[in-house]
Structure 1
Amino acid sequence: MSCNRYLLLLRMLHFVDNALALPRDHPDSDRLFKIRPVLDHFVDRFSEVYVPGKELSVDESLVLFKGRLVFRQYISSKRARYGIKLYMLSESRTGYVYSFRVYTGRDSNIDPPGCPPTFGVTEKIVWDLGRRLFNKGHHLYVDNFYTGVQLFKELFRVDTVACGTIRSNRKGYPRELVCKKLERGHCCALRNEELLALKFSDKRDVYMLSTIHDESTSPVTVWGQVAEVRKPVYILDYNKHMGGVDRVDQRLEHYTAIRKSYVWYKKLALHLFHLATFNAFIVFRDRSPESKMTFVKFQESVIESLIVVEQARVPREAVVEDVARLKDRHFAEHIPPTPKKDFPAKKCRVCFRRGIRRETRMYCPDCPSKPGLCVGACFKNYHTQKNFWEQP
């Protein structure tokens, strides 16, 4: 396939019939209509083909897009900064993306099944991402954008414990803990049934909420420190298990196929295809732990299997052509001019069969097909060898 044909097919790429789209002012209008079948397919398949480990994390990912889009987001901490935001639930150990959701604006309607009616938007996002894994004993790690007292209580009710940093002004977080002064390296905790509220003083005060941990500490090695330093276990576990989505972004950004000139839904679709390839690689490594294949090699093997690369069949020379070129007398001549070209050229038949792209102004007028031939070895081989493309 030529480059121009590929670009033409990419330009015509659609995932739905645009004639079925509802007007924008319709109450059931979907901002992701153009890519809805792709989203639904991957959300279902990601949760069907793999069982994640115990530790999971929820975080945001950003697909770079700087064009005009009503739900484009800005996140200063991300490499892309501007783009389409995805909420992701991933396995902490491998980065496997188990579930995801595309942000479509503040007015987007989120109503996952079984969700308490008193939940806010952030709580509903976590509930929607993790509902397929409830009642299985998973540990969920989230940042302060999602952490809340009511959310953690409801997750505990469905046998899913959680841990995360929390904003000090969150509703239900104990004010006496926030106001308490601590020396650097010290921590303080308050427990209320399954909930443990914690404060740790390091370079700055860190507030956390957990239904997993207690107040225990563990020795750690800090660069530049001679004496032993102890840190709370909940801090160490949070730092260890919170990076699942970041692990995905780091893997994908080195081998991205996305270009900035794509329309938003094509760019998002290509990102999801790339994400599906990463998930497939995680499944492959899980089923074949002895394999040393890298992610880039895995992608190449997937591409080769999809396009089914085969050696092109060499067309058989006509019998008349073989007899004429091997037995008759032949003399090279210049290719006669045409109405469009005064000095036309042809591909050398011998060089072409050897995989060499070379043009010549000479040809053999005595052969039935009048092939273009380089004067010298090519002309000689063509008229003296049956398999003229083979090196003598």
Structure 2
Amino acid sequence: MPPVQKGHLFSVQDVIAAVQNGESDFEMDSDDTDASEMDKENQQPIDCPANDDVDIKFRWLKKEFISPNTDFSGSEITNDATSLLTPLEYFQKFVTEDMIETLTRNTNEYSLQKNGTSVNTNNKEIEKMLGMYLKMGLMQMSGVRMYWETDTRYTPASDVMSRNRFQSLLTSLHFINNLTVSEMEKKDKLWKLRPWLNSFRERCLQVVPEEHNSVDEMMIPFKGRFSNIKQYMRGKPHPWGFKLWMEYDKSELGLSGDVVMKLASTLPEGQNYKIYADNYFTCVPLVVKLLERGIHYVGTARQVRLPDCNLEDEKSLKKKGRGSFDVQVEGNHNICAVKWYDNRAVTLVSSFAGPEPVQKIQCWDKATKTIIDVERPYIVGTYNKHMGGVDLLDSFAAKYKFPMKSHRWYIYIFWHTIILAVINSWLLY
């Protein structure tokens, strides 16, 4: 399998398959710079569904877009709680005592099967290890041993557990009894972590979703020829999001469309939830499929995913000046496409947001070196307001690096769920 190319998005299955085929030596590589959204405007995505693959016909017209009624009828996220829980109680909403108990039992069994002697840990010691991991991530050092060395000793970790005991637990962590797993279950590439992931996802799904949800990919750093494992998630925009772990298979909508549909399946139908995503995910058949479930969508779009939608080209809009835009409406499904020119042109598609009301915003003009008023369509404003929550979490998680190396690649996914549990706990608080 070729090395990662910038701008190319690999699914979780792609990365795991490469790891299982021995194509990873787990050497650190944290560079993950994608091409800008504007530069990808006219590139054909490899998973974009062909027009003939989707049995939906589109008819784009030059007419006024009439926004449908999108009043939200879902559950309120607040409740009548009169007192706050402790930080641990919030954390245990996502990492429960039962999950810790199962982890402890499987860790003891695995160490016995591997070494002939059990590591003989207990729930309290596993909880201490998780706490040490979080503390050590706040005070980052180049290696685990440094937290116990005389000159660099970090007492929040070193006073809790000895270095040898800590490393022994790390190498023994296990999430399933290998001897009880069938060959059918082992066809799942995440079978060693599957019980933990299922439990964690079940806890996440118990959180009441908000009206506005952004969808984006997120990187799980690990060391190998593939610099990261990608995870797709649904999030809230301010300041981070509730995350769900899922894997995806391609469908008639392509991988990116399938991602959004499966995340949207966790939202109740017919209650006017709104989803926001960038141009990697957006295609018109996806917007139609979401509308059938009573879920609305706003996203930037690549021109190649808008067949027969004859919006003005960038040169024409540039001549009209900053703030100029063009609108097309899909007549069969009432979907609006807006191309807006600021410093460059960007195209957005929505099932509920159009150009009106046009807003006046202040922008810096390089030519005159002054602040000028620029017209901005409503669809652009609502996208900017509600998109980006996953990117904030991605940036936070990327900075939270743990110095312990492991050849068991799925351990990095486990630690990632711990970080997500902490952030989810903070959001509930």
Fold agreement, TM-score > 0.5: yes
- Structure 1 residue 255 displacement after superposition: 4.1
Task: Give the Cα separation in 1 of the matches to 2:185 and 2:308.
Answer: 41
Query: Match for residue 56 of structure 1?
Result: 213
Q: Secondary structure at the match of 1:43?
A: helix
**Paired letter, 2:167:** L
Query: Match for residue 383 of structure 1?
Result: none
- Structure 1 residue 141 displacement after superposition: 0.4
1:137-286 equivalent positions in 2, closer than 5 A: 137-170=272-305, 172-177=306-311, 179=313, 181-183=316-318, 184-185=321-322, 186-192=324-330, 193-216=333-356, 217-223=358-364, 224-257=369-402, 259-261=404-406, 263-284=408-429
Task: Give the Cα separation in 2 of the matches to 1:261 and 1:188.
Answer: 53
Cα pair distance change 1:28/1:264, threshold 3 Å: closer
**Paired letter, 2:328:** L
**Paired letter, 2:187:** S
1:16-95 equivalent positions in 2, closer than 5 A: 16-20=176-180, 29-48=187-206, 50-67=207-224, 72=226, 82-95=227-240
- Structure 1 residue 91 displacement after superposition: 0.9
Task: Give the Cα separation in 2 of the matches to 1:27 and 1:239.
Answer: 43
Query: Match for residue 76 of structure 2?
Result: none
Cα pair distance change 1:60/1:258, threshold 3 Å: farther
Does the 8 Å CA contact 2:302/2:347 hold for their aligned counterparts? yes
Cα deviation 1:233-255 (Å, max 9, x = unaligned): 22222122111101212333444
Task: Give the Cα separation in 1 of the matches to 2:372 and 2:163.
Answer: 63
Task: Give the Cα separation in 1 of the matches to 2:313 and 2:182.
Answer: 53
Task: Give the Cα separation in 1 of the matches to 2:243 and 2:229.
Answer: 19
> Which stretch of the first structure deviates more once superposed, 90-99 or 192-201?
90-99
Task: Give the Cα separation in 1 of the matches to 2:375 and 2:311.
Answer: 21
Task: Give the Cα separation in 1 of the matches to 2:300 and 2:255.
Answer: 18
Task: Give the Cα separation in 2 of the matches to 1:86 and 1:37.
Answer: 18
Cα pair distance change 1:175/1:255, threshold 3 Å: closer
- Greater relative contact order: 1 or 2 (C-alpha under 8 angstroms, separation 6 or more)? 2
Cα pair distance change 1:194/1:209, threshold 3 Å: same
Task: Give the Cα separation in 2 of the matches to 1:258 and 1:166.
Answer: 39
Cα deviation 1:343-367 (Å, max 9, x = unaligned): xxxxxxxxxxxxxxxxxxxxxxxxx
2:262 to 125, 128, 139: 128
Does the 8 Å CA contact 1:22/1:29 hold for their aligned counterparts? no
Q: Secondary structure at the match of 1:33?
A: coil
Task: Give the Cα separation in 2 of the matches to 1:27 and 1:100.
Answer: 18
Instruction: Give the alignment's TM-score, normalised by structure 2.
Output: 0.55
- Structure 1 residue 59 displacement after superposition: 0.4
Cα deviation 1:155-198 (Å, max 9, x = unaligned): 1121111010111111x443421557323321000112420011
Does the 8 Å CA contact 1:164/1:209 hold for their aligned counterparts? yes
Cα deviation 1:257-305 (Å, max 9, x = unaligned): 4634453111110111111111011111xxxxxxxxxxxxxxxxxxxxx
Q: Secondary structure at the match of 1:176?
A: coil
Cα deviation 1:301-336 (Å, max 9, x = unaligned): xxxxxxxxxxxxxxxxxxxxxxxxxxxxxxxxxxxx
Does the 8 Å CA contact 2:234/2:242 hold for their aligned counterparts? yes
Does the 8 Å CA contact 1:141/1:242 hold for their aligned counterparts? yes
Does the 8 Å CA contact 2:185/2:191 hold for their aligned counterparts? no
Cα pair distance change 1:221/1:155, threshold 3 Å: same
**Paired letter, 1:206:** V
Q: Secondary structure at the match of 2:336?
A: strand
Cα pair distance change 1:219/1:30, threshold 3 Å: same
Q: Secondary structure at the match of 2:187?
A: coil
Task: Give the Cα separation in 2 of the matches to 1:244 and 1:227.
Answer: 29
**Paired letter, 1:188:** D
Does the 8 Å CA contact 2:240/2:389 hold for their aligned counterparts? yes
Greater gyration radius: 1
Cα deviation 1:205-261 (Å, max 9, x = unaligned): 211111121212211121343332221222222122111101212333444446344
**Unaligned residue ranges in structure 2 (runs of 5+):** 1-160
- Structure 1 residue 131 displacement after superposition: 0.7
Task: Give the Cα separation in 1 of the matches to 2:189 and 2:353.
Answer: 41
- Structure 1 residue 92 displacement after superposition: 1.4
Does the 8 Å CA contact 1:56/1:91 hold for their aligned counterparts? yes
Task: Give the Cα separation in 2 of the matches to 1:263 and 1:27.
Answer: 19
Cα pair distance change 1:133/1:98, threshold 3 Å: farther
Cα pair distance change 1:258/1:239, threshold 3 Å: farther
Does the 8 Å CA contact 2:363/2:372 hold for their aligned counterparts? no
Task: Give the Cα separation in 2 of the matches to 1:59 and 1:161.
Answer: 16
How many aligned positions are there? Answer: 257
> Which stretch of the first structure deviates more once superposed, 173-182 or 139-148?
173-182
